[in-house]
Structure 1
Amino acid sequence: MFLCVFALAGIPSWAMAIESLLPKDLPEGWGLIEGPRLYTKKSLFEHIDGQAELYFKYGYQKSVFAIYQHREKPEHQIEMDIYDMGSVLQAFGIFSRFRTGDRPGGIGLDSYFDDHSILFYKGRYFVMLYATEPYPSTMKELVLLVSSRILDPSPSPKEIRFFPTKGLKPGSIQYFSEGLLGHRFLKRGFQGTYIEDEEVKAEINVENQTKVDAKGKGGGEQKEFNLFLAIFKDTENTKKALKAYKDYLIKRGRVQAQTPPRFGANTLRGEDPYKGKVLVVQRGFYLIGIAGFEKEKPAEDSLAEMIKNVN
């Protein structure tokens, strides 16, 4: 009966009131002391004034907040926020902007753990926990309870899997809803950070990004570069963006006349005043590029592999 009502209303059968995602059976010794507090686009500023604008850029719909407290140690508390970002793409995007490294915990589609906080996303939801004192097992129990209540079956964004695994810095793939690489004309898209070293032999799981050798044979830190994927609504807008990038390089950087033959027409090569060497190729409604590299051959190989993955 309820499934039919949801279907007739155009609402997915797995959709639930966001407050119902909060855990009901709490870990032993813990209790709810504040909330649930519901927020909307109009009221989010009351909760996270300094960060609300970032959430709005990623499609924020609504959220719920609660605080849990240890019964015997009242100064020990855990705050929980659950955000409905409208889609799995936007949920990944906000998650990717907040994680600060690679400490996955195997929760949801991807997660990040540290001593005081846990972040994860699953379906259209982004979940954050913050603890005043380290409680890793309690926090993990709470997020497992939340994750089990999120029934949204959406897979992770397919674009994550376009990025080659060799040399990819774990936890570095991000989705920007606007201003990719700091350029307004590139609009929205993904970028990943790579370690520039021909000796790097790491193969990692792109979904969880769990392993990479970030040192060369000399043991020193390696230079980083970015692979990126800018997304447009159609081929015409993609070509306009490539021209805009070329015009920008002519004015602010440098454009090189020769481009690698293997990438064909609609390829831009030059130097960005802030990003360094760039190589950008148009494929359909994507601009696929590499920025900040020094070694030409490995950079071209990485770009070619990404183009192959996209195709």
Structure 2
Amino acid sequence: MAGQKKSYSRTETFIGAAVILLLVITGMLIFLKQFRYDPSIFPSGMTLAVPEGGPLQGEKTDKTISFKNMAPMTPPEIFNSENLSEKINGKAELYLTAGFKSLTCQRFSSPGNTGLWLEVFVYDMGSIENAFAVYSVQKREGSTPLQLTGFIYKTENAVFFVHGNYYVEITSSEVSDSLMDSMLSFSGDFIKTRNVRGKTIPELALFPPNNLDSNSIILFPSNAFGFDKLNMVFAADYKTEKGKIKAFLSRRKNENEAKEIAKSYSDFLISLGGKHIKSGQNQDNIEIIEIMDTYEFIFSNGSFLAGIHSAEDLNEAKKAASALYKKLGDKTVGR
């Protein structure tokens, strides 16, 4: 009959209530699950891109590096030279000119607090020299050196290091002891487990050690001192009574190339208003140019181009240039 209400049995009412209760419980479990870390769903490490030219002998390409007390927040991303600027717009040119091969990056967070996160950038630069170039040029002021490997330091919320052909940056969302602990743990695991090509840079031993500030050494991948032909140039500061002196050196293909670039750089400085002055050095091929009230020393020695850049004190610069020339002329130096 129209308008008559349908009656329900006690069994139907009970079943309906049970279904509603089950849906409520399921919803609560789903809600709570998002805050719980399940290692079977979220693996605790990241897998790097296979190095260009293939993996090293005996190297596992699926090797993962774990983050202590962290869970993946985003899937891993891999960038090449074609799309690197999409990730690090504004800095891509530095990496590309330094021999960049690939970038693997991923963000991780604390399972109980997604506001605490860190992001790791692993750059395959193709060689340790290229990796050191981007590491040294971007070195942060006020950083603290670490002992895990030869080239590594930390700031309040980040860790930066070189390991073979890899340059690694790890940055965190905030200053936190737990996040720093995770970053250092990852760094140590990475260094211990990654088999790499080359672990030393011979040029670093070519700077005379007396008064050398070893933490100041930089490798300019291109356009050193504003001159487009000066690429892969190492530079280091020396402490003197009159201030700092910056020495530089670059291993070229052969002796002729070293001489040609030395002349080209000299001509470049003269074109900017520099003028030759008498060297008074025992080494005849050390050229001195005065420019903008500073002194530039330029010379070649075997396959090396070297000199002193923008020195304010002529006598201190002469001493530094003479010591560098002698060091590069040592028969034990690889030519």
TM-score normalised by structure 2 residue count: 0.74
Computing the radius of gyration from Cα coordinates, the structure with the larger value is 2
* In structure 2, distance between residues paired with 1:177 and 1:190: 9
Question: Which amino acid letter does the alignment assign opposite residue 158 of structure 1?
Answer: P
Query: In structure 1, the residue corresponding to 2:65 is in which secondary structure?
Result: coil
Q: Which structure 2 residue ranges, 5 or more long, are not aligned? A: 1-52, 331-335
Spell out, residue by residue over 1:131-157, the C-alpha distance to the aligned partner (whole angstroms, 9 max, x if none): 112232221111111112221151221
2:270 alignment counterpart: 250
Relative contact order, CA 8 A, sep 6+: which one is greater? 1
Deviation of 1:180 (Å):
1.5
1:50-65 aligned at under 5 Å gives the runs 50-65=90-105
Q: Which moved more, 1:130-139 or 1:223-232?
A: 223-232
**CA-based RMSD:** 2.3
Change (3 A) 1:10 1:141: closer
- 1:269 paired with 2:298, answer no
Counterpart contact for 1:92–1:121, Cα < 8 Å: yes
* In structure 1, distance between residues paired with 2:221 and 2:325: 21
Change (3 A) 1:40 1:287: same
Change (3 A) 1:187 1:83: closer
1:124-273 aligned at under 5 Å gives the runs 124-134=165-175, 135-152=179-196, 154-197=198-241, 223-264=243-284, 266-273=285-292
Spell out, residue by residue over 1:179-224, the C-alpha distance to the aligned partner (whole angstroms, 9 max, x if none): 11221233331111233326xxxxxxxxxxxxxxxxxxxxxxxx33
Deviation of 1:31 (Å):
1.0
1:7-156 aligned at under 5 Å gives the runs 12-13=56-57, 15-17=59-61, 20=63, 22-24=64-66, 26-28=67-69, 30-101=70-141, 103-134=144-175, 135-152=179-196, 154-156=198-200
* In structure 1, distance between residues paired with 2:166 and 2:151: 12
1:218 alignment counterpart: none
Residue from 316, 323, 327 that aligns with 1:309? 327
Query: In structure 2, the residue corresponding to 1:181 is in which secondary structure?
Result: helix
Spell out, residue by residue over 1:4-35, the C-alpha distance to the aligned partner (whole angstroms, 9 max, x if none): xxxxx886315553x73x423x313x211212
Query: In structure 2, the residue corresponding to 1:144 is in which secondary structure?
Result: helix
Spell out, residue by residue over 1:99-144, the C-alpha distance to the aligned partner (whole angstroms, 9 max, x if none): 1245211233311211111100011011100011223222111111
* In structure 1, distance between residues paired with 2:247 and 2:172: 35
Counterpart contact for 2:159–2:171, Cα < 8 Å: yes
* In structure 2, distance between residues paired with 1:130 and 1:279: 40
Q: Which moved more, 1:147-156 or 1:164-173?
A: 164-173
TM-score normalised by structure 1 residue count: 0.80
Change (3 A) 1:52 1:294: closer
Change (3 A) 1:146 1:299: same
Counterpart contact for 2:295–2:314, Cα < 8 Å: no
* In structure 2, distance between residues paired with 1:79 and 1:11: 24
Greater than 6 Å deviation, 4+ residue runs: none
Query: In structure 1, the residue corresponding to 2:200 is in which secondary structure?
Result: coil
Q: Which structure 1 residue ranges, 5 or more long, are not aligned? A: 1-8, 199-222
Query: In structure 1, the residue corresponding to 2:145 is in which secondary structure?
Result: coil
* In structure 2, distance between residues paired with 1:10 and 1:113: 31
Query: In structure 1, the residue corresponding to 2:282 is in which secondary structure?
Result: helix
Change (3 A) 1:15 1:290: farther
Query: In structure 1, the residue corresponding to 2:74 is in which secondary structure?
Result: strand
Spell out, residue by residue over 1:42-85, the C-alpha distance to the aligned partner (whole angstroms, 9 max, x if none): 22222112211211111111121111101222101010011110
Deviation of 1:286 (Å):
1.5
